[in-house]
Amino acid sequence: MAEDSGLAKLPQATVVPGKRFRVSIVWAIPVLAAVVAIGIAVQRILSEGPTITVVFRSAEGLEAGKSFIKYKDVNIGQVTAVQLASDYSQVEIKAKIAKSAAGLMVEDARFWVVRPRIALTGVSGLGTLLSGNYIGFASGKSDQPRRSFTGLEVPPIVTGGLPGRQFLLRAETLGSLGIGSPIYYRRLPVGEVVAYDLAADGKNVDIKVFVQSPYDKYVNPGTRFWNASGIDVSLNANGFDVRTESLAALVAGGLAFDTPVFAPTAAPAAADTAFTLYSTRAVAMKQPETVARHYVLYFNETVRGLSIGAPVTLFGMPVGEVTDVGLSFDPGTLDVHPRVEFTFYPERMVMRLSGRQELAAQALAESSEQKRHAVLRRLVEERGLRAQLKSGSLITGQLYVAFNFYPNAPRAKIDWNRDAPVLPSVESLIPDLEAKLPEIVDKINKLPLQAIAEDLKKNLETLDQTLKSANKLVSHVDADVVPELKGTLEEARRAMAAAERVMKGAESTLVGPNAPTQQELRDTLQEVSRTARSLRVLTDYLERHPDSLIRGKSEQKFGRQ
């Protein structure tokens, strides 16, 4: 009962009216947690953009979770998976697109892998060397949403939003052009080749070009495009012609355009207008001849050096060009003649006339055939209009056809009976070197070589005399001037020797090995050294026999010690 009494001693607890049991406030914590977690989940789901699939040929440098899709350098998505397509031939890339960019995923959106590229026309994508490759994006214009795309292997040149216009060029061959080849306007790069494809019939190449704003306004329906690739070297009767647009175009190819002066001023061409691509500037800028008349010429001499396209001139002005060079053979008479066909463009001639004459000539060119023929006949028969081969360049031997008046030429008539009228010609004045060679040799033979040689001999003799007198002059100098000079030199040498002696004396007294000063110094030093030696002996002795200071030097007894 000791326990009971012990318990009884404990104090009695006080009673405080308690609260009734109810659900604890602590349940607010899990409720709050649930609200937060659900909130985050909902936000995640709501902000989730679409997942797209892009197919590439290779996934070079792309990594799931690390590579981004960028549009105007803004991240609009992230690659979530890089895997092989079901047929193993391509790579499928899945990417999660930000919700804000979901509207961009339309049918004609384009994707490509941005990696460093170094081409002749430029360097791009160097930033990816540090940050890794990413997927570039170009928006499309369509409204149809799409979730799977095929990626481009080469970045597109014109990304959406760049102002300018596209045009279509039709060319025979692609030449050295490629996507990205520049387009020049007055040697200013103003655009690029965007795409090319074989035309549907397989006979042409369709080249799509993009000309940036504001330069696109210089392209009007009369504009000519030509291939500016490489160096355009032409060798013709006009001489040597070299043209190139720029070094880049030289290496990588390029196009150029310009509007010829004769083209009517017109409004800028609409987008996607088709143009012909000419091979060279010369061809492109040539005025289109609306009226062309064909004539034939026969010559009695070689036409070697006369090529198709060679100019036909009238008093030096180009009025036409050679279209064919051939032969004519008459089996009856066995006559063989070179036959030259050419085209005459009256407009070129009219163009070079002045004022009122131009109008008259224009009227004539457009008049009836009979009237024109009558004029031509009178020119040939009364004034002596004749064709003649002329050498355009002595170096290249290129020929051209020149028309001039030869009033003294034998009378001739135009042969109207052929397909094309035959005009008369006269023999050329081109020197035939082979024919002239014996003449030249003959002339050389006739040269007064003997006389020349004699003259030369006389000249040489005179020269000899001149040299002799020069020699005399030199010997005079030798005899009179040189002895004096010699004396002066001797004097100088003596002075030098004296100076040397002085120097030597100074040396022997002061610093020479047997100089007196030196000797004395040496003696003194020897004395000092002797003194030092005896001092050392003294101190040694004192150290051993300190008592000798008092007692004096004791006799050394060698025998006992």
Partner 1 sequence: MNGSALTAAQAGLVSCETCDLLSRAATPAQPGHCPRCGAPLQSRRHQSIQYTWALVIAAAIFYVPANMLPVLTTNTLGSSESDTIMSGVIYLYTSGSWPLALIVLIASIMIPMGKIVALAYLLITVQRGSIKNNRDRSRLYRLVELIGRWSMLDVFVDTFVVALVQLEPLMSVQPGPGVLFFMSVVVLTMLAAQSFDPRLIWDAGRRRQVGHG
Q: Which one of the spans 61-69, 146-154, 170-178, 233-241 is the region binding partner 1 (CB under 8 A)?
A: 61-69
Q: Binding to partner 1 by residue 5, rule CB under 8 A? A: no
- In the numeric block, which tokens belong to residue 355? 């004022």
Q: What is the CA radius of gyration of the chain?
A: 55
CA distance 222 to 289: 15
46 contacts: CB under 8 Å, gap ≥ 6: 99
Question: Which CB atom, from 2 or from 16, has the smaller least distance to partner 1?
Answer: 16
Find the shortest distance in angstroms from Cβ 177 to partner 1.
35
Question: Which CB atom, from 14 or from 265, has the smaller least distance to partner 1?
Answer: 14
Find the shortest distance in angstroms from Cβ 2 to partner 1.
15
Find the shortest distance in angstroms from Cβ 162 to partner 1.
25
Among 6, 65, 438, 448, binds partner 1 (CB under 8 A): 65
Question: Which CB atom, from 15 or from 46, has the smaller least distance to partner 1?
Answer: 15
Interface of this chain with partner 1, residues 350 to 379, rule: CB under 8 A: none
Find the shortest distance in angstroms from Cβ 159 to partner 1.
20
Phi then psi dihedrals of residue 71, to 5 deg:
-125, 120
Q: Give the Cβ contact number of residue 171 at 10 Å.
A: 22
Transcribe 327-363 into DSSP letters.
EEEETTTTEEEEEEEEEE-HHHHHHTS-HHHHHHHHH
Among 47, 58, 100, 131, binds partner 1 (CB under 8 A): 131
Q: Give the Cβ contact number of residue 73 at 10 Å.
A: 8
Among 55, 66, 323, 362, binds partner 1 (CB under 8 A): 66
Q: Which one of the spans 62-70, 101-109, 190-198, 239-247 is the region binding partner 1 (CB under 8 A)?
A: 62-70
Find the shortest distance in angstroms from Cβ 43 to partner 1.
11
Interface of this chain with partner 1, residues 269 to 308, rule: CB under 8 A: none
Of 365, 332, 321, nearest to 347 (Cα)? 365
Transcribe 362-396 into DSSP letters.
HHHHTS-HHHHHHHHHHIIIII-EEEEEEES-TTT
Question: Which CB atom, from 29 or from 489, has the smaller least distance to partner 1?
Answer: 29
Question: Which CB atom, from 6 or from 559, has the smaller least distance to partner 1?
Answer: 6
Find the shortest distance in angstroms from Cβ 123 to partner 1.
19
Sign, Cα dihedral of 169, 171, 176, 178: positive
CA distance 83 to 68: 16
| Angle subtended at Cα 10 by Cα 8 and Cα 12, rounded to the nearest 5 degrees | 95
Question: Which CB atom, from 67 or from 425, has the smaller least distance to partner 1?
Answer: 67
Question: Which CB atom, from 65 or from 355, has the smaller least distance to partner 1?
Answer: 65
Find the shortest distance in angstroms from Cβ 54 to partner 1.
19
Q: Give the Cβ contact number of residue 220 at 10 Å.
A: 16
Find the shortest distance in angstroms from Cβ 130 to partner 1.
5
Find the shortest distance in angstroms from Cβ 88 to partner 1.
25
Find the shortest distance in angstroms from Cβ 48 to partner 1.
13
Question: Residue 226 in contact with residue 280, Cβ under 8 Å?
Answer: yes
* Cis peptide upstream of residue 214 (ω within 30 degrees of 0): yes
Among 2, 118, 130, 247, binds partner 1 (CB under 8 A): 130
Among 50, 61, 125, 132, binds partner 1 (CB under 8 A): 132
Question: Which CB atom, from 18 or from 559, has the smaller least distance to partner 1?
Answer: 18
Find the shortest distance in angstroms from Cβ 56 to partner 1.
19
Find the shortest distance in angstroms from Cβ 127 to partner 1.
8
Strands (E), 396-490: 399-405, 422-423
- In the numeric block, which tokens belong to residue 154? 């080469």
46-64 b/e (C-beta count within 10 Å ≥ 16 → b): eeebbebbbebeebeebee
- 89 to 128: interface string for partner 1, x by CB under 8 A: --------------------------------------x-
CA distance 191 to 217: 12
Question: Which CB atom, from 3 or from 464, has the smaller least distance to partner 1?
Answer: 3
- 7 to 46: interface string for partner 1, x by CB under 8 A: x--xxxxxxx-x----xx-xx-xx-xxx-xx--xx-----
Find the shortest distance in angstroms from Cβ 15 to partner 1.
5
CA distance 296 to 425: 10
What's the Cα-to-Cα distance from 217 to each of 164, 165, 263, rounded to whole Å? 9, 9, 15
Question: Which CB atom, from 15 or from 394, has the smaller least distance to partner 1?
Answer: 15
Transcribe 128-153 into DSSP letters.
HHHH--EEEEE--S---B-SEEE-BS
218 contacts: CB under 8 Å, gap ≥ 6: 185, 257, 259, 268
Site residue total, partner 1 (CB under 8 A): 30
Among 49, 56, 62, 68, binds partner 1 (CB under 8 A): 68
Find the shortest distance in angstroms from Cβ 92 to partner 1.
22
Q: Which one of the spans 59-67, 108-116, 454-462, 535-543 is the region binding partner 1 (CB under 8 A)?
A: 59-67
Of 171, 318, 159, 158, nearest to 257 (Cα)? 171
Question: Which CB atom, from 12 or from 469, has the smaller least distance to partner 1?
Answer: 12
What's the Cα-to-Cα distance from 557 to each of 6, 119, 554, 560, 561, rounded to whole Å? 118, 112, 9, 6, 7
Of 109, 161, 113, nearest to 138 (Cα)? 109
Question: Which CB atom, from 28 or from 334, has the smaller least distance to partner 1?
Answer: 28
**Where along the sequence are the contacts to partner 1 (CB under 8 A)?**
7, 10-16, 18, 23-24, 26-27, 29-30, 32-34, 36-37, 40-41, 65-68, 127, 130-132
